[in-house]
Amino acid sequence: MAQRIGYAAGAFDLFHVGHLNILRHAKENCDVLIAGVVSDEMLRAVKGIEPVIPTLERAEIVRHVRFVDDVYIETVPDKLDVWRDVGFTHFFKGDDWRGTEKGDRLEREFAEVGVEVVYFPYTVHTSSTALRRALETISGPDRGELAAAGRH
């Protein structure tokens, strides 16, 4: 039987139980799990998000989650380019992508190269977006202060 190499990508900023859940579920469905940590530059360019925790620190946190075998820092937006670098056989995503235009396109592109897209339940009650909002409420809307606070 061929080795199942899984890939689960995310910002993993403000690490929370939803992140842990997707990594746990991913590891249960593959032999080797590589976690993709989206770089600060990519988060800014693609999502317009200023991360609280810098890339290398987020990668270090994720690297030490027991379900993760290796970490890859994403510096390009195209998941096929990432696949060419990493060589995964299974791509794991939260089910909030299922049935969306982006999810359908991802499934088509990966099907062409033999990669299976597997969806896991999205943890609705916890998200980095919700955590960011809560932090802004506590500390005020100055994102510069919030980002700086995460770097100390």
Tell me the domain boundaries of the chain. 5-149
pLDDT for the residue numbered 127: 63
3-state secondary structure (DSSP) of residue 47: helix
Nearest to 58 by CA among 133, 141, 143, 150: 150
65-127-105-50 Cα dihedral, nearest 10 degrees:
-90
Amino acid at residue number 102: K
| Residue 66 structure tokens | 């027991």
pLDDT along the chain (152 residues), means of 10: 94 89 96 98 93 95 98 96 98 91 95 96 65 64 50 40
Q: Are 72 and 34 contacting, i.e. CB atoms less than 8 angstroms apart?
A: yes
Contact predicate 71/59, CB 8 Å: yes
DSSP per-residue string spanning 119-134? EE---TT--HHHHHHH
| CATH architecture assignment, domain 5-149 | 3-Layer(aba) Sandwich (3.40)
For residue 128, the model assigns a pLDDT of 62
Please report, for residues 44, 67, 81, 87, the alpha-carbon distance to residue 84 in angstroms, rounded to integers and kept in the order given. Answer: 23, 23, 5, 6
Q: Return d(Cα 103, Cα 91) in angstroms, integer.
A: 11
